[in-house]
Chain A
Amino acid sequence: MDTETKGCACDCAAAVPPPPVSSLWARGGWLLVALPAWVGLYRSLKPLADLLAFRVLGLGPGSRLGEAVAFFAFDGPKVLMLLGLVVLGVSFVQTFISPEATRDLLAKRTGAWSNLLASLLGIATPFCSCSAVPLFIGFVRVGVPLGATFSFLISAPMVNEVALFLLWSLFGWRIALLYTATGVAVAFVSGWLIGLLKMERHLEPWVMEIPYEAAAASSTAMGFAQRLELAVQATWDIVGKVWPYVLGGIAVGAFLHGYVPAELLARFMGKSAWWSVPLAVLIGVPLYANAAGIIPIVQVLLAKGAALGTALAFMMAVAGLSLPETVILRKVLRPTLIATFLGVVTLGIVIVGYLFNFLM
């Protein structure tokens, strides 16, 4: 263990007792039954939703209410099932990674390279916006450059792996990669600019003055069964927390799907409306939603004629910047730095939106 870090005597992960029954079943054998069952159910969602909307409820196919209900009954379970599987896989991988390990990787870097690395690590590192302040201080105080710290803080909520896999399964790999690559680019350039501006003096004084001794990363050494158990637990936690937002997003989507004529959105969010990108971003910035909650809305916006760049910019603005996060960061950043952060990122997202509308 590093001498500069105070010992974390122990470990939450390592303290998880081994499963009581050490049978093959408890050690992950259940996955062999659960995964085919998942696939079977997933494939029969569409006929089941149509059955519910048009037979059980007796709504007319083609009617507005019928289409909206069928959309919700199909998309709701579909997105939740995908989300569950994605979060399980991702949580399993994340038992190998911790924010502390990311911090240690970044502490020794300088220059643009540190911004790039921080933006990329932001994709996979587990991050909860409620930890933004301790994480910020932890990074800055062990010598991660301020710019790289921002690159991480911008990338982590905006380009997370859950968003990546959900976009992939709903829109295909092109859009998923496009979103990820441009999100990383926005985080990279914004953090790099903030670094160039040398804004260290715009931190609140206590950030650098408080006595600080970093605690060591929790150890991530454990067996497959333990990792799986932690992943299942994390999946319950996360899906249990975000499902209302996801269903809310799909309900809005279902309404748009059934009731809003395609031409209307095409007029407001289509390519020809030059002001649609900045407007979508300005609406998206103060809104707060998890990436998983915003994707169902984006799906419908696209289907109804919104331009790809406008829709992606909207999603980035909602997921990446939010009013609550800004209020939290105000505890460590002075107004000038907050304004610079918001300004640079907003501008970056608007540019990405225009770029895609222009290219596609």
Chain B
Amino acid sequence: MKIEVLGTGCAKCKLMAERAEDAARGMGLAYTLVKVTEYPDIVARGVMSTPGLVVDGVLKCQGTVPTVAAIQALLR
């Protein structure tokens, strides 16, 4: 499973990456986490509010940082 966190590195983006990591690890998933930090790459996903969460190429969430439990629901 490929998890991408879109964001240039503000506090919310770091929190999103941490929580996504916790969520995936808690579920025992085999995953790779990529931080997408360049504007053109973020914008190319159609995202307008960072941080964005993309799972296997599908945008799951933008603008808010869900709880670990909520991210696990998105990863399922």
Contacts from A to B (Cβ < 8 Å):
5-6, 8-13, 15-17, 98-100, 103, 126, 128, 130-131, 133-135, 137-139, 206, 210-215, 218, 230, 233-234, 237, 241, 331-332
Which residues of chain B from 26 to 72 have any CB-CB distance to chain A below 8 Å in the complex? 39-40, 42-50, 53, 58-67, 69-71
20 A–B contact pairs at CB < 8 A?
A: A9-B58, A10-B61, A12-B62, A15-B73, A16-B69, A103-B48, A128-B10, A128-B49, A128-B50, A133-B39, A137-B48, A212-B44, A212-B46, A214-B48, A215-B46, A215-B47, A215-B59, A215-B62, A237-B12, A332-B39
A11, A103, A134, A210 pick with most chain B CB within 10 angstroms: A134
A234 to B48, CA, bound (A): 19
Q: How far is the CA of A9 from the CA of B52 in the complex (A)?
A: 13
Cβ of B59 and Cβ of A12 under 8 Å apart? no
What class of interface size applies to chain B in its complex with A? 20 to 34
Does A8 lie within 8 Å of B61, measured CB to CB? yes
Nearest B residue (CB) for A100:
B48
Q: Nearest Cβ distance between residue A211 and chain B, in whole angstroms?
A: 6
Which of these, A134, A212, A233, contacts B49 with CB under 8 Å?
A134
Binding site for A on B (CB under 8 A): 7-8, 10-13, 15, 39-40, 42-50, 53, 58-67, 69-71, 73-74
Which of chain B's residues have a CB closer than 8 A to the CB of A212?
A: 43-44, 46
- B48 to A215, Cβ gap below 8 A? yes
Give the residue name and chain of the A residue nearest to B15 (CB).
A237
Within the complex, what minimum Cβ distance (angstroms) separates B61 from chain A?
A: 3
Q: Check A12/B74 contact, CB under 8 A, given A98-B63, A128-B12, A218-B62.
A: yes
Contacts of A331 in B (CB 8 A): 39
Q: Which residues of chain B are within 8 angstroms of A241 by Cβ–Cβ distance?
A: 11
Within 8 Å by CB of A215, from B15, B45, B67, lies: B45
Instruction: Check A206–B12 contact: CB distance below 8 A.
Output: no
Give which listed residue, A16, A211, A218, contacts B63 with CB less than 8 A: A218
Which among B11, B47, B64, B69 has the greatest number of chain A C-beta atoms within 10 A?
B64
Residues of chain B lying within 8 A (CB to CB) of residue A13: 64, 66
Instruction: Return B36 CB to nearest CB of chain A, in Å.
Output: 11
Neighbouring B residues of A100 by C-beta, 8 Å: 48-49, 62
Contact across chains for A230 and B48 when beta carbons are under 8 A apart:
no
Q: Kindly list chain A residues whose C-beta atoms are within 8 Å of the C-beta of B73.
A: 15, 17
| Contact A237/B48 with A15-B70, A134-B43, A212-B43 known, Cβ cut-off 8 Å | no
A6–B45 alpha-carbon span in the complex (Å): 9
**Docked CA distance A210–B44 (Å):** 7
On whether A134 and B42 interact (CB within 8 A), knowing A128-B12, A215-B47, A230-B64, the answer reads yes
